[in-house]
Structure formats: structure tokens, C-alpha cells
């Protein structure tokens, strides 16, 4: 009897320790309003530093378009000439020449450079939109990782409560001679292992919160509570339709298309480098009137033409531009192929998770619950071995976890599908 009382006391102490451990995460978020999935996604796309950076990169590229289409700035010069020997004082010069020089780049070249600058800005815009889609998907994935971590902790608590009941049953059976002391010790050991597992699950939940906070542009240790939501519909997706949407509107694909257009304009510009550029000069000579020299002031007008006569240079530029165009077209083709592959992979993962979800919900969990209940009844009556009951308890816990993980995997696959398509499909709110 003394041994039984000692074991009962140990179970009570461990239960109290567990209650304190479980209460710690709850107290950390006490009073914190739970965020919906839409609020989380909206916050991430507004506040994530990577989104802000890509937006500013786009604004920078747009600001450079006027500079690309502008003529070079004019040059104003003043020259002192005929300074007497023996001095370097410019004010004693016999003549002052004022000049104004303006380089004029061929308008055809300027127009093409403006198109290329606009293409570059459009690429940056597509990169910004693609980053928003990426953060949108990452926020949803981090949110569902947090849900899974919280659910694992919850199921772990429930499982330990059931284990506590088995401890009590084992103690009663031992006291009545229906079971050996070894069963009680095994039950107590398993109870202690579950306590350790719960600490690990609580740590996993804390890490998941930190990751979600980071995606939302907040400090990792910011208080966070979320509401459980599952937004994806059943996987009745049109593969051809999704691929068509991605080809027509995915920001990453659009960005590669703008890169191809930029390379095409680069080829045209390289060929137009054979056109001449110009330079205009306007000068005025102010002569100091003396008895020895009474020549009048004069004007000077000049035109210079820069002749692109070095054919090797021109041919090299055209060859390089054509190679860049070929590389851009290959990159676009690869992007389109990878997008199609990503969509197919996400669809397969989503469909697989949906099938697992259905099997666990309608078959595995009900069977595991029946097996466990039957095992408990049988062990209470001394007809079933304790290890069989313990195995059925672990099987029930794993079935519940696997079912919830299938739900999470389905939602994450749906988020990956949205990322592959390049647009949100299953949630309202701020649109990437």
C-alpha cells in the first residue's frame, strides 16, 4: 500500500507541473486579441520589410525613366586668351572667349533607351507584385504551421490526461492483484515522457509564433494569438485554367516577359548605334581694344558629328545584344515550364492531403477510438495486456495528429498553389 500511495503522489505532482507548463504559453498571450487569417495576411503584405524594399526598388526604377530620355546637360565655358608673358593674371588677358556646347544624342537612340528604362521599371513592378504574392503565401503557411503546433500541444494534453487515467487503473489493478507492479511503473514512465514531449511541443509553438511574427513584419517575440480558420475549398481545381491564369497574369512570368521586351529593344538600340550623334557649339570672343589691336568682337558657331566608323565595336554590341535576347527568351520559357510544374505539384499535394484527411476522419480515428476504449475495458477487467492498451493510446494520439496534419498540409498546398498561380484564390483581403 505504501508503494501505491507513493505512485499516486508522483502522478499528482507531475500533473501539477504539467498544468504550470501548459499555463505559461497561455499567460504570455493573455488579453491578446486573436487575429483572423485575413488580418494576418493583410498585415504581412503591408508591413513585411521585403515587400517595402521591392516597392521602393520599383519606385527607383520609375524615377530613372526621365533621366534615360533626356539629352546631356549643356556646357558653359569661359576662356582667357592672350595673357602677356611674365604673368598669369587672367584679368590681363587680351581676349575673353565665352562658349556654350550642347551634345545632342540621336533621338532614335534616346527613344529606345526610354523604352528600355520603362521595361526595367515594369520588371521591378512585377518583382514587387511577385514579392507580395510570396509573402502572402508564406504568411498563410506560417499561420498553418502555428495552428499545427498549437493542435499538437492540445492533443498532447488530452493524451496525457488519458495516460493519467491509465495510471490510476494500473494502480487499482496492482492493488487487487490483477496486474504486476511493472504495469504501473510503465504507465508512470510513459506519463513522465509525455510531460517532456509537452515541453517540446510548447517550444515548437513558440518558434512557430516567432516565424509568423517575422513574416508579418513584427518582432519575433511580439504577443500573438490567432483564430483557427480553414479557407481552402475541396480540391476541384481546373488544372488547365490555373495554368492559363499563371501564363497570363503571374507577376514572375510578366516580369520575364518585360525582360524579353527590354532585350529586344536592346538589340534595336545596338543596331542604331551606327547612327551619328551631334554636338553644337556657340562661342563669343570679347577682344580688349588697344591702339595696336582694334579688331572687333566676333561670334563662333560650330557643328560636330560623331561618326561610328569602328565596325568591330558595332558588330560586337549587336552580337552581345542578340545573345542577351536569346538568354532572356530561354529564361522566360523556363519560367513558364517551372510555373506549370509548380502548379501540378501543388495540385497533387493538395489532392493527396485531402484523401488522407478523409481517410483519417471517417475511418482511422473512429477505429482508433474504438480500439482504445475496448482496450481500457479489457485491461480494467484483467483481460488485456497493458502494453496493448498503451499502443492503442499512442495510435489514437497519432491518428488525431495525422488527421490535423492532413488538414494543415492541404491548406499549405493550397497556399503553394496560389503562389504558383501568382494570385490569391481562397481568401479575401488585401490583394497582392
Residue 34, C-alpha cell as written in the block: 486573436
CB 208 within 8 A of CB 142: yes
pLDDT in tens, 309-344: 877 888 899 999 999 999 999 999 999 999 999 999
**What mean pLDDT is predicted for residues 362-386?**
83
Residues 424 and 432: their CA atoms lie apart, in Å, by 7
Nearest residue to 105 (alpha-carbon basis) of 305, 268, 283, 271: 305
Residue 29 DSSP SS3:
coil
Element (H, E) at 98: strand 95-104
The pLDDT of residue 211: 95
Backbone phi and psi for residue 229, each to the nearest 5 degrees, phi listed first: -140, 145
pLDDT in tens, 44-90: 999 999 999 999 999 999 999 999 999 999 999 998 887 888 788 88
Residue 225, Cβ neighbours under 10 Å: how many? 16
What is the b/e burial string over 84-107, where b = at least 16 CB atoms within 10 angstroms of the residue's CB?
A: eeeeeeeeebebbbebebeeebbe
Q: What is the CATH number of domain 2-70+106-273+308-421?
A: 1.20.1600.10
The domains of the chain are located at 2-70+106-273+308-421, 72-105+275-307
pLDDT in tens, 286-317: 877 655 566 788 888 999 998 888 778 888 99
Residues 112 and 257: their CA atoms lie apart, in Å, by 17
The pLDDT of residue 427: 61
Please report, in angstroms and rounded to a whole number, the separation of the first and last CA atoms in the chain.
68
* Average pLDDT across the chain, whole number: 84
pTM of the model: 0.79
Given a cut of 90, whether residue 156 has pLDDT beyond it is no
pLDDT in tens, 91-124: 888 888 999 999 999 999 999 999 999 999 999 9
Residue 163, C-alpha cell as written in the block: 495516460
Given a cut of 90, whether residue 247 has pLDDT beyond it is no
Residues 297 and 285: their CA atoms lie apart, in Å, by 6
Residues 395 and 401: their CA atoms lie apart, in Å, by 10
Amino acid at each position: 500500500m505504501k508503494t501505491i500511495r507513493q505512485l499516486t503522489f508522483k502522478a499528482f505532482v507531475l500533473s501539477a507541473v504539467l498544468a504550470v507548463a501548459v499555463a505559461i504559453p497561455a499567460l504570455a498571450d493573455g488579453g491578446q486579441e486573436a487575429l483572423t487569417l485575413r488580418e494576418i495576411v493583410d498585415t504581412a503584405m503591408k508591413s513585411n520589410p521585403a515587400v517595402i524594399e521591392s516597392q521602393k526598388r520599383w519606385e527607383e526604377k520609375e524615377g530613372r525613366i526621365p533621366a534615360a530620355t533626356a539629352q546631356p546637360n549643356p556646357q558653359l565655358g569661359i576662356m582667357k586668351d592672350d595673357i602677356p608673358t611674365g604673368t598669369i593674371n587672367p584679368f590681363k588677358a587680351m581676349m575673353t572667349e565665352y562658349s556654350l556646347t550642347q551634345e545632342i544624342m540621336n533621338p532614335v537612340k534616346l527613344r529606345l533607351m526610354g523604352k528600355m528604362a520603362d521595361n526595367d521599371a515594369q520588371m521591378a513592378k512585377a518583382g514587387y507584385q511577385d514579392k507580395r504574392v510570396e509573402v502572402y503565401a508564406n504568411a498563410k503557411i506560417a499561420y498553418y504551421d502555428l495552428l499545427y503546433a498549437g493542435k499538437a500541444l492540445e492533443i498532447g494534453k488530452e493524451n496525457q490526461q488519458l495516460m493519467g487515467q491509465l495510471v490510476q487503473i494500473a494502480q487499482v489493478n496492482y492493488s487487487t492483484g490483477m496486474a504486476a507492479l511493472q504495469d504501473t511503473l510503465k504507465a508512470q514512465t510513459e506519463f513522465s515522457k509525455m510531460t517532456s514531449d509537452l515541453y517540446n511541443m510548447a517550444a515548437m509553438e513558440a518558434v512557430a509564433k516567432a516565424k509568423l511574427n517575422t513574416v508579418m513584419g513584427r518582432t519575433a517575440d511580439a504577443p500573438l494569438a490567432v483564430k483557427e480558420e480553414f479557407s481552402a475549398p475541396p480540391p476541384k481545381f481546373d488544372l488547365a485554367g490555373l495554368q492559363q491564369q499563371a501564363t497570363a497574369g503571374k507577376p514572375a512570368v510578366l516580369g520575364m516577359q518585360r525582360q524579353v521586351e527590354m532585350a529586344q529593344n536592346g538589340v534595336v538600340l545596338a543596331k542604331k548605334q551606327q547612327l551619328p550623334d551631334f554636338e553644337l557649339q556657340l562661342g563669343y570672343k570679347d577682344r580688349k581694344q588697344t591702339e595696336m589691336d582694334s579688331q572687333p568682337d566676333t561670334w563662333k558657331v560650330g557643328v560636330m558629328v560623331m561618326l561610328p566608323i569602328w565596325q568591330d565595336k558595332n558588330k560586337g554590341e549587336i552580337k552581345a545584344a542578340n545573345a542577351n535576347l536569346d538568354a532572356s527568351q530561354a529564361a522566360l520559357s523556363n519560367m513558364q515550364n517551372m510555373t506549370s510544374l509548380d502548379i501540378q505539384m501543388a495540385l497533387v499535394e493538395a489532392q493527396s492531403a485531402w484523401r488522407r484527411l478523409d481517410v483519417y476522419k471517417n475511418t482511422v480515428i473512429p477505429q482508433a477510438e474504438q480500439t482504445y476504449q475496448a482496450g481500457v475495458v479489457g485491461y480494467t477487467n484483467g483481460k488485456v495486456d497493458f502494453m496493448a492498451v498503451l499502443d492503442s493510446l499512442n495510435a489514437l494520439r497519432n491518428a488525431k495528429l495525422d488527421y490535423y496534419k492532413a488538414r494543415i498540409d492541404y491548406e499549405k498546398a493550397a497556399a503553394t498553389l496560389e503562389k504558383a498561380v501568382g494570385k490569391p484564390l481562397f481568401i479575401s483581403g488585401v490583394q497582392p
